[in-house]
Structure formats: C-alpha cells, structure tokens
Amino acid sequence: MTTVVERFLKYVSYDTQSDEAYDTCPSTKKQLLLANELKRELEEMGASDVRMSEYGYLFARIPDNTGSTSALQEAEASCSTASAHGASGVGQKTTIPALGFISHMDTAPSLTGTNVKPRIVQAYDGKDIVLNAEKQIVMKVSEFPFLADLKGQDLIVTDGTTLLGADDKAGVAEIMTMAEYFLSHPEIPHGEICIGFTPDEEIGRGADRFDVKDFGAAVAYTVDGGPIGEIEYENFNAASGKVRIQGASIHPGDAKLKMKNALLIGMEFQSLLPVFENPMYTEGYEGFYHLDEMSGNVEEAQLNYIIRDHDHEKFEQKKKFFAEAADFLNRKYGKGTVIAKVTDSYYNMKEKIEPCMYLIDTAKEAMTACGIEPEVVPIRGGTDGARLSYMGLPCPNLCTGGYNYHGKYEFIPVDSLHKTAEILVKIASLFS
C-alpha cells in the first residue's frame, strides 16, 4: 500500500493552479493531469464506477459491503436530505446512507504551484525554519507562534519560492489513502462511500458543475480544513461588491468646480465604511468589508469588495449600508456618479447542517477514537461544502492538518496526514 505521505508528495508535484481569468471548466487544463492520475489510481485500486465529467470532476464509489441496516441512519432519519435519499422513519428498516468525501485538486492563484520542492523537517526543534538560505526566506516562530506546539514533529515545508499545495492535495491524499484501505480490506464493514475530486475551488467555482445526483451521496464531508481536529459547519454569508465611479477629467490648471476625480471619490466611498469592520481588525464570527482591488484614473475608477458575515441579519445590514454609501455620494456629486452592485456568492451552511447534526457528532466521535481532540470552529471564508449544502448535499468540512495556506509558509505535519486519513476511515466505519 502507498502511504499517505508518499501520495501527498507525488500530488504536490503536479501544478494544478486555477485561474479566474479563464471561463472554461476547469479553468486550466493542467488540473486534468492530476485528475487523470487519480482516475488511474482509483481504477487500479478496484474502486467502482470511476468516471470523470467533461468539466474535470472525478467521481468514484466503494460499494456497501454490509447488507445491513444502519442504526445511525435510523436514529438520525430526521435529517431532511437523508430522508429524501431513501431513509425511513425511526424504527423502520433502512439502508446505510451513501457517504461522500470531497476534496479539490486545484491550488490557489495567489502564489505559483510550479516546481514545488517539498522538504521534510525531521523532529522539528521548535526554532525558526530556514526555507531558503539563498533567498533568506525564514519561517519565524515570532510570526507563527503555534510552531512551538509542533516541536518534535516531522513537518513538510516548501523551499520558500512556491506554495506547498496542502490546500487541498492533503485532502486528496487522505481520501485516496482511506479508499485504498477499504478496498484492500474488504472484511472491514462500511456503507457505500462516494469519492469526489473537484477543479477550480480556489477561484470560487468548485461547485459550479458538481452533479449532486450523479455523485450519489446522501450526505458528505469536504476534507479541506486546517489544523488537525478542526470541524467546520458555519461559514460566512458572502457577497461581492463592485463599485464603478464616473468622474470628469479636466486639465488641473482649469479644474476648479469642474473636475470630479473618480479616484478621490473612490477613497471617499471607502472612508464611509466602518473602519473596524475590516479583515485586519476582525476574527471569529466577526464580519467585514474587504477592499480587494482598486483601479482607475480621474475619469473613472472601480473598487472591488468582498462582504462577509456569519450572521444573516448582519450580512443583510452590511449590503444595505454598502448601497447607502453609494446613494450618499450620488446626492453629493450627482446622480449616476457612483454605481454599486452587490451580488451574493454563497450563504452560511449552518441552517442546512443543523438538521443533520449527527454528521458533526460522528466526526467528533471518530476524532476522539483516533486520539484527537475535536474542535468546532467557524470558517472565516467559504467552502464548496456551503454551496453543496444548498444544492441538497449537507456537507460540513473536516481538517486536513495543514497550516498557512496559499503562501510560501504553507506546511503540514506528517502525523496530521496520517491521523486525518485514520479519521476518515473511522467516520466511514461509524456509518456501517
């Protein structure tokens, strides 16, 4: 059997960076190279119904080998989705719900994933880690104090010039290791297991072409989280805010009472938003307005925002305030000067998971059985699981074990890879 570490090191050698500049699915053809490798491996393992869609979504199944009734399903038949997929009422004979595990194959556009050179720091000594001596790139304990808690562990790090790709090739490797375990041990009872690997998650399109019906699971987990032990089923409500400002360019020598500087009006728009509702001042369940991009000139300018809040009412208030800021400036500078458009991106999956809280309880039980202390934490971002939950597939998120995603300081402890794969096996076993 191939170890989870061996798989991970192989998968990160594939450059699978997605690119939002392209409208194709997947956005980059290079994602298909890893998809085809995973397809080959699944087929060699003996997985059933291995298929890849024209959009680069890879699905497979490990059939139910129990032929028995699931007590877990019976106890939790109130979950609307499980019921919709064939669960009977409590006390009635029912089949084990098909359980899905999903990870994404792409890596973030924020830093190159070409020619990743992972290195294992053995028995980490708790001190600063020199990633690249030549370029003087150092991961410092003073900047990442949680490193001290990992003293003695083996850590997989970058060479400081690329991201690592643990987000989410760690999840891919862990799911593949779980799959190989069950396929190599048919004597271990389990219900039907559905496996899904998706493209373009990092650019917000991971669920765009996901066929929930074809996937076949009643419930699922994304394996796309952070440090070992984390369980997530609350994410931000999210919207994009696009502000377009029409100015009036006049020669500065003759500009008095004639010029409308679109750049300055853009700055004024930003000044109207609450100062401390900004990512650099928020944590936990606190929402924010994030100015992600600003461009333009005197004649016209544009500002792109992301708007986030866990609480739906506060989310709606933020969107309203955003629009009111534009209205204020239009009253000041003239109708049509500022056009603000807000588009919802995704919603907090909490309301879709709460009827299926056995998913969280099962994950906690599995982690505890594997010697890991479970911790339920909110996601300060999004996840494919949120969109999939609203598409009819309740889908909380599980840890992969990684840290510092999307950058040169990304790393993952070797033990976390092993433990997460073990947790996935245990979760699937608890469904039998």
- Per-residue pLDDT 10s for the chain (432 aa) are 789 999 999 999 999 999 989 999 999 999 999 999 999 999 999 999 999 999 999 999 999 998 754 444 444 554 644 433 333 333 333 467 899 999 999 999 989 999 999 999 999 999 999 999 999 999 999 999 999 999 999 999 999 999 999 999 999 999 999 999 999 999 999 999 999 999 999 998 999 999 999 999 999 999 999 999 999 999 999 999 999 999 999 999 999 999 999 999 999 999 999 999 999 999 989 999 999 999 999 999 999 999 999 999 999 999 999 999 999 999 999 999 999 999 998 899 999 999 999 999 999 999 999 999 999 999 887 788 999 999 999 999 999 999 999 999 999 999 999 999 999 999 999 987
Q: Are residues 23 and 76 in the same domain?
A: yes
Q: Where are the beta strands (DSSP E) in 199-276?
A: 219-223, 230-232, 237-246
Q: Are residues 51 and 171 in the same domain?
A: yes
Domain end among 346, 368, 400: 346
Q: Are residues 306 and 332 in the same domain?
A: yes
pLDDT of residue 81: 42
Structure tokens, 386: 């949120």
CATH number of the domain residue 323 falls in: 3.30.70.360
Q: Are residues 23 and 169 in the same domain?
A: yes
Q: How far apart are CA 379 and CA 310, in angstroms?
A: 9
Domain end among 346, 378, 413: 346
* DSSP-derived pairing of the beta strands 237-246 and 338-346: antiparallel
Residue 132, amino acid:
N
pLDDT of residue 381: 77
Domain end among 346, 365, 396: 346
Residue 303, beta-bridge partner list? 243, 294
Catalytic residue among 15, 64, 76, 106, which? 106
Q: Are residues 241 and 305 in the same domain?
A: yes
**Prediction pTM value:** 0.86
The answer to whether 349 and 389 have CB atoms below 8 angstroms apart is yes
CATH number of the domain residue 372 falls in: 3.40.630.10
Q: Are residues 194 and 300 in the same domain?
A: no
pLDDT of residue 87: 37
Angstrom CA distances, 390 to 69, 175, 246, 275, 356, stand at 28, 23, 37, 32, 13
The answer to whether 201 is a known catalytic residue is: yes
Q: Are residues 247 and 294 in the same domain?
A: yes
Catalytic residue among 15, 167, 201, 224, which? 201
Give the containing element (helix H, strand E) for 5.
helix 4-11
Task: State the Cα torsion 64-65-67-69 to the nearest 10°.
Answer: -60
Please give the tally of structural domains in the chain.
2
Containing domain of residue 219, as a range? Answer: 4-234+349-430
Structure tokens, 142: 């003073």
Q: Are residues 124 and 230 in the same domain?
A: yes
pLDDT of residue 294: 96
Q: Are residues 117 and 247 in the same domain?
A: no
Q: Are residues 140 and 273 in the same domain?
A: no
The answer to whether 149 is a known catalytic residue is: no
pLDDT of residue 106: 97
Q: Are residues 335 and 209 in the same domain?
A: no
Angstrom CA distances, 251 to 108, 257, 259, 300, 337, stand at 43, 12, 8, 15, 19
Q: Are residues 289 and 426 in the same domain?
A: no
Give the containing element (helix H, strand E) for 129.
strand 129-132
